[in-house]
Homo-oligomer: A and B are copies of this chain.
Amino acid sequence: MTTTDPDTGFRALDATPMGYGSMRRKEDARFVRGKGRYLDDIVLPGMLHAAILRSPHAHARIVSIDTSAAEAHPRVRAVITGETLAGLGLAWMPTLSHDVQSVLATDKVRFQGQEVAFVVAEDRYSARDALALVDVEYDPLPAVIDAQHALDADAPVIRDDQEGRTDNHIFDWEAGDAAATDDVFARADVVSSCDMLYPRSHPAPMETCGSIASMDPVSGKLTVYTTTQAPHAHRTVYALVAGLPEHKIQIISPDIGGGFGNKVGIYPGYVCAVVGSIVTGAPVKWTEDRSENLMSTSFARDYHMRGEIAATHDGKLLGVRVTVLADHGAFNGTAQPSKMPAGLFHVFSGSYDLAAAHCAVTGVYTNKAPGGVAYACSFRITEAVYLIERLVDVLAHDQGWDPAELRRTNLLRSEQFPYTTALGWEYDSGDYPRTLATALDMAGYDELRAEQKQVRSAYERGESPMLMGIGLSFFTEAVGAGPRRTMDILGLGMADGAELRIHPTGKAVLRLSCMTQGQGHQTTFAQIVAEELGISPDDIEVVQGDTDQTPFGLGTYGSRSTPVSGAATAMVARKVRDRARIVAAAMLEVSPDDLEWEKGAFRVAGDPAAAATMNEIAMAAHSDLELPDDVEGHLDATCVYNPPNLTYPCGAYVCVVDVDTATGQVKVRRFVAVDDCGVRINPMVVEGQVHGGLADGIGMALMEVMAFDTDGNHLGASFMDYLLPTAMECPSWELGETVTPSPHHPIGAKGVGESATVGSPPAVTNAVLDAIRVRHADMPLTPAAVWRAVRGTPLRTDLAIG
């Protein structure tokens, strides 16, 4: 529960703790002084600047590319085309989903904004100017924009680069027992079904993507500064794809201004920067502008879903059945884990005790930017939670049931954990009824319903255009990708390393494979070590984002930092403590078994005066203290952590909205969010994560959509068109918590980075539709969409065909 300072209204901080607690973020000393060092802050001696020429067409054949005028520009140093890259075997690169993607287009362009040429010049302005001098002749082709027509017989074939291909089908994928699910539905008393679209959206991080590549021609060392959430994966990909020697590649993630999944993959500009540096012999910087980021980098969602839910007469949920048409854009996409083409969509069975569930997902190509899972990426969990939480409300709507009561009676009970879902996934822990009850109590659910009635009667009496809605969602997330079944990125497993060095004076340096994009890793990971070793978090430096300095691992996404790297951190700190025990025993001349650990020191049992603090132990471990023969000196330790299971955070959200039926305008009046992410390392940081995710939900539900016209022209390529929520649209959040530690995580933490992004859109949508008593309307519920929904004429906002 948030403790608020009564004077400032801000969170009350704990004193800097020797472990968990709400301490100020260590990194903010730099950030609030403007001393962050983001990619574009980096200037290398002799650095050149690049710009990318992009396709104006969604689908067109390339007839010719003439670069001679651009090359003649006095400040241009190189113009790279797909042909240049083809000579190096780099015109196409693998995606992370067993597909290939064009680096610079050679045969065709396949979406508006696709990369066609890369110009390197002495300054950014000249590079941009010279783009206009590259003469590309296109032969336009009809485009597939609506996924629902991608498999039509007359649809143009987008991926004719693949031999023998005659359609736009990518994959069919099923999960769950179809026969058992059909059986459940046949026996059900009531069934509700609903078609819904989770529209294409964009992570829209504050900082766009970019890269600086510097190849040293003498040593052969390639250094790449790049905005990546997964530096080690990038290193291995460069080694595998470009054949560069992995031990001579250094990937450095500087400070990153938000990722949300947008910064997992390798974009064509990154590859071109490397080639540009090799060609020119100088460092090459490439950074996107906002339009480039919105048009060409990993989008999210774009899921056309038909869901059905089955129940008994008395409100016992029985099963869920879903078919999905997934729009993957022109290339099947960056950050799409190959083992499961629909990622972790399995959690569509939700937080309920269901007898059966089944889904069938079909993926198709369209003439849009590639991607598919990014945006607080969570690998399709967002869509799954939206589906089930909308279906529950649709069923309640159809049957006239109270959505809170329907959830309460069907939620998994704490004694059912660990619980294996109908899809075969094992939820680790939770006390769902308590989590929901906490949220309903905080919201004052019954009073809200009473108020709602009064508002509606005034509306029905024609006294006011206003309606009030109360929306609920209960979500179960599946985070911490690591277990074998979960993912497979280029054949790499998902074990992450942690290294802990203890210096002679007792100060510590922790090296991790994960990479913060603003989540506060410098602080929270130091707190994990502090908790285990009893030293101050201020005495622990956390190093990330430089492959030369950190152990291998697959980085930060899917809320996996705390579940995986956090576990590795606790384990490595415990290894240090185990070694410290042996050193302390040698110092105190007792057996290690005679020592008791008391945060920060080992004490001799029964002799209160005999003790060694961690600082003393650290110095002794670096001295010539005599240790047992099989014990090495110093205190450093390493750990590679391969989690046995995902962790399953959950939450209950209650959203209260006021809807102006005259204008369609929605105002989120209150938002109660009770999250259970297990043990909280730094509650303030957890709450910051939740705040951001809740705002995401308001954006998704009410404002955000990547829309296209029928020719494939992108209608959201600036923040004037692609609307993000601001503080203006957000209420003062009301946060609560329950804590059910994960039983298989060393400190019981579960990961919380995406919880609110996952859980909040259905709460907001449910609230709006609850207010206007409409069974379903697709997000975003813009004023126009709400205005028309109230009047029974739904609007499709993802295509400009309204």
Using a CB–CB cutoff of 8 Å, the interface residues on chain A facing chain B are 29-30, 33, 35, 218-219, 235-236, 239-240, 245-248, 484, 488, 491-495, 497, 501, 503-505, 507-509, 539-541, 543, 548-549, 551-552, 619, 622-626, 632-634, 636, 638-642
Contacts and interface: CB of A to CB of B under 8 A. Distances in A.
Contact of A484 (B235, B247, B624, B640): B624
Given A484-B624, A504-B552, 14 more contacts: A30-B219, A236-B503, A236-B504, A246-B504, A484-B626, A488-B624, A493-B623, A493-B624, A495-B633, A501-B551, A551-B636, A552-B634, A552-B636, A634-B640
A548 B551 contact: no
A43 to B, nearest CB: 8
A723 B623 CA distance: 41
A247 B508 contact: yes
B235 A503 contact: yes
A248 B623 CA distance: 21
B634 A503 contact: no
Nearest to A553: B634
Contact of A505 (B239, B509, B548, B641): B239
Contacts of A492: 504, 622-623
B33 A218 contact: yes
Nearest to A506: B246
Contacts of A30: 218-219
Contacts of A619: 491
Contacts of A488: 624
A171 B343 CA distance: 74
B246 A507 contact: yes
A503 B239 contact: yes
B622 A493 contact: yes
Given A507-B245, A543-B548, A552-B504, A638 B640 contact: no
Nearest to A35: B218
Contact of A539 (B247, B503, B541, B641): B247
B633 A493 contact: yes
In order of increasing CB-CB distance, the 5 nearest A-B pairs are A247-B507, A495-B633, A493-B624, A632-B640, A246-B503
Nearest to A487: B624
A501 B232 CA distance: 13
Given A507-B247, A633-B640, A549 B552 contact: no
A247 B509 contact: yes
6 contacts: A247-B509, A247-B539, A497-B634, A503-B552, A633-B642, A634-B640
A624 B495 CA distance: 8
B622 A552 contact: yes
A625 B494 CA distance: 11
A623 B494 CA distance: 7
Nearest to A642: B633
A240 B505 contact: yes
A635 to B, nearest CB: 9
A232 to B, nearest CB: 9
Nearest to A483: B624
Contacts of A491: 619, 623
Contacts of A505: 236, 239-240, 245-246
B493 A219 contact: no
Contacts of A626: 484
Given A236-B503, A246-B507, A549-B548, A638 B639 contact: no
B29 A219 contact: yes
Contacts of A632: 495, 639-642
Contacts of A623: 491-493
A655 to B, nearest CB: 39
Contact of A638 (B625, B636, B642): B636
Nearest to A339: B624
A504 to B, nearest CB: 5
Q: Which of A240, A619, A623, A641 has the most CB of B within 10 A?
A: A623
A555 to B, nearest CB: 13
Given A632-B642, A634-B551, A640-B633, A625 B240 contact: no
A501 B624 contact: no
A51 to B, nearest CB: 26
Nearest to A508: B247
A352 B312 CA distance: 99
A388 B592 CA distance: 48
A624 B503 contact: no
Contacts of A552: 501, 503-504, 622, 634, 636
Contacts of A636: 497, 551-552, 638, 640
B247 A503 contact: yes
Nearest to A543: B548
A235 B503 CA distance: 9
A245 B539 contact: yes
A638 B633 CA distance: 11
B248 A541 contact: yes
Contacts of A641: 632
A495 B634 contact: yes
Contacts of A543: 548
